[in-house]
Amino acid sequence: MELRGRTHPQDVIDILKLLQFEKTKRVYDTLIHVLGQISYKKGCFRYVINQLKIWENKDLYPLVQNEIIEIHGRYEKFSEFTQQEIIDVFAKEHAKPV
């Protein structure tokens, strides 16, 4: 799932969406991790966050944000964006008036 998602996120996002209310902690944590891993590849970050914004489980979004920030730091040499660019995107998002 993770590997396919890094090159074709649209192929796996609907399957991952089915797990958004998963009660098993290990599965839920893996979902967060996989979404973070998918996000660092070229062309995937915006797709992942835009999809998450329309998911029903709004509690998941900040958890995935943290994972995305961490992964972009860990894999900065391979990521489309730097960790700071990702932090800035999320900061701008929170600064927008509702």
pLDDT 10s digits, 60-96 = 999 999 999 999 999 999 999 999 999 999 999 877 6
List all residues 6 or more positions away from 31 whose beta carbon is below 8 Å from its beta carbon: 16, 19, 20, 22, 60
Band the pLDDT of 4: cuts 50, 70, 90: low
Query: For residue 94, what pLDDT is reported?
Result: 74
In 3D, which of 98, 96, 93, 83 has the Cα closest to residue 61?
93
Q: Rg of the Cα trace of the chain?
A: 13
